Structure 1
Amino acid sequence: MARTEYYDDPDAPRPNRLVVAASAVVTDGAGRILLQRRTDNGLYALPGGTMDFGESLPGTAVREVREETGLDVEITGLVGTYTDPRHVIAYSDGEVRQQFNVCFTARAVSGELRISDESTDLRFVAPEEIAGLPMHHTQQLRIQHFLEQRATPYLG
């Protein structure tokens, strides 16, 4: 299923769904950030996805990282909340979501990197190389907030 992201676009379709999601900034010992290249839009992104009934948001982040990357992670902190109504995600099946994501920090505790059916590439990337990757600016914003090592989480 294809996905198109809009931000502050007057021509964006009107949202018809609000979905709670979690993502994670997973780093390795060298301070590189784990990114996946999504199959649905071809852009790099942090691993993450939709919360299921019976899950907590941190549990969602742990499950999504495992499903999308093969790594088991431990949540270590909170980057922020990303709920800007100007960020709209449209899917080819007609679903149009208003963005709602809570982004955590995490560290890998076990597992091995493996590409899932949701990605075409998976790698740890040095922070200075991220700007050169095809990535939606809302993903870059989460990474920027992480790299700023804020005293308090971003609330937006």
Structure 2
Amino acid sequence: MPFDTLTCPSCGSPVKQYRNPFPTVDIIIEIDNRIVLIERKNPPHGWALPGGFVDYGESLEDAARREAREETTVEIGNLRLLGCYSDPARDTRMHTISTVFMAQGSGIPHAADDAANLALFALEELPARLCFDHAKILADYAAVVRAGR
């Protein structure tokens, strides 16, 4: 069911509350032929792509730039769309739809905001356990890289 029924506090009539997926962004930040992954400070714990929720009134591209800066202190450029990931089970906390970007990072990355740790990884040396559907996203990214973009 796409909505829940609530009760109006004034008159007691049923009111529909529509439930929609939450828009998010994830960013594959490329630095020196490696990608930046963060170790999450908050549940679910583990390694993940930098990213987060899109703020109201914010474009997807601006959200990607903001999240990259907040979690890695890196500025990004050459922003390119990899794809959108919408499996309702991709995040056990809630239904999210992620728009995933690839970008070139500049600067020295440092863990910040929601990141407890940060590391650069070659595609062949990714951590065994990645959060959410990030293993699938990175497999899709590897296919794009192999195809020469």
Of the two structures, which has the highest relative contact order with CA contacts closer than 8 Å and spacing of 6 or more? Answer: 1
Q: TM-score range by the shorter chain?
A: 0.7 to 0.9
Is the contact between residue 26 and residue 64 of structure 2 (CA under 8 Å) also seen in structure 1? yes
- State which structure, 1 or 2, has the greater radius of gyration over its C-alpha atoms: 2
Give the alignment's Cα RMSD to 1 decimal.
2.0
Counterpart residue number, 1:99: 96
Structure 2, gaps ≥5 residues long: 1-18
Q: Which residue of 39, 51, 54 maps to 1:51? A: 54
Alignment of 1:20-35 (within 5 A): 20-29=23-32, 31-35=33-37
TM superposition shift of 1:137: 5.8
Counterpart residue number, 1:84: 87
Counterpart residue number, 1:144: 139
Aligned AA (2:134): Q
Alignment of 1:11-26 (within 5 A): 18-26=21-29
Give the Cα–Cα distance (whole angstroms) in 1 for the partners of residues 21 and 55 of structure 2: 13
SS at match of 1:58: helix
Is the contact between residue 90 and residue 132 of structure 2 (CA under 8 Å) also seen in structure 1? no
> Does structure 1 residue 63 correspond to structure 2 residue 66?
yes
Q: Which residue of 124, 127, 147 maps to 2:123? A: 127
SS at match of 2:113: coil
SS at match of 1:114: coil
Give the Cα–Cα distance (whole angstroms) in 2 for the partners of residues 117 and 66 of structure 1: 9
Give the Cα–Cα distance (whole angstroms) in 1 for the partners of residues 130 and 140 of structure 2: 15
Give the Cα–Cα distance (whole angstroms) in 2 for the partners of residues 75 and 124 of structure 1: 19
Identity of aligned residues (%): 28
Give the Cα–Cα distance (whole angstroms) in 2 for the partners of residues 143 and 47 of structure 1: 12
Give the Cα–Cα distance (whole angstroms) in 1 for the partners of residues 132 and 67 of structure 2: 21
Is the contact between residue 50 and residue 71 of structure 2 (CA under 8 Å) also seen in structure 1? yes
Give the Cα–Cα distance (whole angstroms) in 1 for the partners of residues 59 and 113 of structure 2: 24
Give the structure-1-normalised TM-score: 0.74
Q: How many residues align?
A: 128
Aligned AA (1:135): L
Give the Cα–Cα distance (whole angstroms) in 1 for the partners of residues 23 and 78 of structure 2: 18
Give the structure-2-normalised TM-score: 0.77
Structure 1, gaps ≥5 residues long: 1-15, 91-96, 152-156
Give the Cα–Cα distance (whole angstroms) in 1 for the partners of residues 57 and 113 of structure 2: 24
SS at match of 2:137: helix
